[in-house]
């Protein structure tokens, strides 16, 4: 079996705003509350970009799709919510040479060639997002050839079904009580840019969420790299009575292991969860070596795909650190189902943040939580198909 072609697509906008900044819509994966609500972000320190989260995002965080075809008629595909036309260009102009004529089962070899060949300009960002798309599409393809779901290629089931927490804006947190999810993660509306007033507002916000949810559900805070050690430490002191499980990505990513380790020691028993915007598997080795996190959250569609996340999970296993991939969807769920060190998964709500519904219009058969749990059907590959009504052929 040989790879004969690679097809690339950008995504036409559906009802959840998938087309992104390339079309001038400045949208974000999932649309809805994530695009219109006040959410602190790394650019909040600049007032022009603080009001709405998507104001600072460009086409590098747009979705794209990749389809890998073979001479035996079997194909593999993926929709990635990051990379957009930039990632498509990397695949088309650079990675294509490693794919055409290759055996799709040579995933490790292809991954290593992509990684080494982009060292002068890659090691993260859209290049890593492009690698992720190729890697995931190859896993999908190989599993389809073998007529197996991907999780069986990764070691099989480690649990019958996957418990989930849900991510929402705090304004919608109350509606998720009693729906089977074990916890609610809220996107922090305020951060360092808001000063002491931001501390007060975040304290009031967390207090309200705890009142709304009661004592049975976990509460987590997605800080989205908009805090610093002072802000996180002072807030931790203010909210200890509300039993917060973790602060997620409180500090800017990249070479911040020592700062996260310091923060972790200051805010315990609140945990530190990081990894959303760490792209290189070697970065996770450093994070774990310096004991800079209680939970690591690699973004499977950004950090190099399943091949990279399996390496990260192997590093984490030695210290029994949970590996909870950031975001939600079939790709994450297959990994979580197969990994003993991944006890649960995230479900990211979309639209108005009150319903269980698919993340993408451009995928068909996306598995969804029922009463807070995801069950993976035994369909071949990742079990999802492309909705071609939303695909736009990439033109370099």
Question: Looking at residue 53, what is its pLDDT?
Answer: 65
Of 309, 360, 318, the residue nearest 128 (C-alpha): 309
Q: CB–CB of 107/139 below 8 Å? A: yes
Give the total residue count for the chain.
396
How do 295-296 and 363-364 pair as beta strands?
Answer: unpaired
Q: Mutual orientation of helices 125-145 and 107-117 as an angle, nearest 10°?
A: 170
Q: CB–CB of 273/324 below 8 Å? A: yes
The owner of tokens 């400045």 is: 26
Residue 113: alpha-carbon gap to chain centroid: 24
According to DSSP, the residues that pair with 386 across neighbouring strands are: 363
* CA pair distance 140, 138, nearest whole angstrom: 5
Please, what's the b/e burial string for 71-84 (b: 16 or more CB within 10 A of its CB; e: otherwise)? eeebbbbbbbbbbb
Of 77, 169, 326, 334, the catalytic one is: 326
Dihedral sign, Cα of residue 293, residue 295, residue 297, residue 303: positive
Q: What is the second-level CATH architecture of the domain 152-385?
A: Alpha-Beta Barrel (3.20)
User: Two tokens at 115?
Assistant: 């990684």
pLDDT, averaged in runs of 10, over the chain (396 residues): 98 57 46 73 85 72 95 98 95 98 98 96 93 98 98 97 97 96 97 96 98 98 95 98 98 86 97 93 93 96 97 96 96 98 95 87 95 97 96 94
* CA pair distance 120, 124, nearest whole angstrom: 11
> What's 93's DSSP letter?
I
Provide φ and ψ at 244, rounded to 5°: -80, 135
How do 162-168 and 345-348 pair as beta strands?
Answer: parallel
* CA pair distance 222, 4, nearest whole angstrom: 42
* CA pair distance 56, 59, nearest whole angstrom: 10
Q: CB–CB of 233/268 below 8 Å? A: no
Domain boundaries, the chain: 3-147+388-393, 152-385
Q: CB–CB of 221/247 below 8 Å? A: yes
Q: Where is 363: in which H helix or E strand?
A: strand 363-364
Query: pTM (2 decimals)?
Result: 0.94
Residue 169 is a catalytic residue: no
- DSSP, collapsed to helix, strand or coil, labels residue 345 as strand
Q: Where is 207: in which H helix or E strand?
A: helix 195-213
* CA pair distance 67, 189, nearest whole angstrom: 37
How do 162-168 and 373-374 pair as beta strands?
Answer: antiparallel
According to DSSP, the residues that pair with 221 across neighbouring strands are: 186, 247
Rg of the chain on CA atoms, in Å: 20
User: 3-147+388-393 belongs to which homologous superfamily?
Assistant: Enolase-like, N-terminal domain (3.30.390.10)
User: Residue 233 to residues 259, 287, 294, 318: CA-CA distances in angstroms?
Assistant: 12, 20, 16, 29
């Amino acid at each position: 079996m040989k790879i004969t072609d690679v097809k690339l697509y950008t995504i036409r906008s559906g009802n959840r705003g998938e087309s992104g900044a390339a079309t001038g819509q400045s949208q974000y994966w999932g649309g809805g509350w994530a695009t219109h609500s006040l959410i602190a972000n790394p650019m909040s320190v600049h007032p022009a970009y603080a009001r709405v989260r998507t104001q600072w995002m460009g086409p590098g965080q747009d979705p794209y799709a990749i389809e890998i075809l073979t001479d035996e008629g079997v194909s593999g595909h993926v929709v990635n919510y990051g990379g957009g036309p930039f990632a498509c260009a990397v695949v088309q102009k650079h990675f294509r040479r490693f794919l055409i004529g290759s055996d799709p089962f040579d995933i490790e070899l292809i991954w290593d060639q992509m990684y080494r060949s982009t060292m002068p300009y890659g090691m993260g960002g859209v290049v890593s997002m492009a690698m992720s798309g190729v890697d995931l599409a190859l896993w999908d393809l190989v599993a389809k050839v073998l007529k197996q779901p991907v999780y069986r290629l990764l070691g099989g089931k480690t649990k019958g079904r996957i418990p989930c927490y849900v991510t929402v804006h705090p304004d919608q947190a109350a509606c998720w009580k009693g729906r089977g999810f074990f916890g609610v993660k809220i996107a922090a509306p305020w951060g360092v840019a808001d000063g002491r007033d931001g501390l007060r507002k975040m304290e009031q916000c967390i207090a309200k969420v705890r009142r709304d949810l009661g004592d049975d559900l976990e509460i987590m805070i997605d800080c989205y790299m908009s805090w610093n050690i002072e802000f996180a430490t002072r807030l931790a002191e203010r909210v200890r009575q509300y039993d917060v499980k973790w602060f997620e990505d409180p500090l800017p990513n990249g070479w911040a292991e020592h700062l996260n380790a310091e923060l972790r020691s200051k805010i315990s028993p609140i945990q530190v969860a990081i990894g959303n915007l760490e792209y290189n598997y070697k970065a996770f080795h450093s994070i774990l070596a310096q004991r800079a996190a209680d939970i690591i959250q690699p973004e499977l569609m950004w950090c190099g795909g399943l091949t990279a996340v399996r390496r990260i999970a192997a590093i984490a296993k030695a210290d029994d650190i949970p590996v909870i991939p950031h975001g939600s969807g079939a790709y994450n769920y297959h990994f979580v189902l197969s990994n003993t060190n991944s006890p649960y998964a995230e479900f990211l709500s979309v639209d108005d943040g009150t319903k269980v519904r698919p993340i993408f219009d451009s995928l068909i058969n996306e598995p969804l939580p029922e009463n807070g749990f995801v069950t993976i059907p035994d369909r071949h590959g990742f079990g999802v198909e492309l909705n071609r009504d939303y695909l736009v052929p990439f033109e370099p």
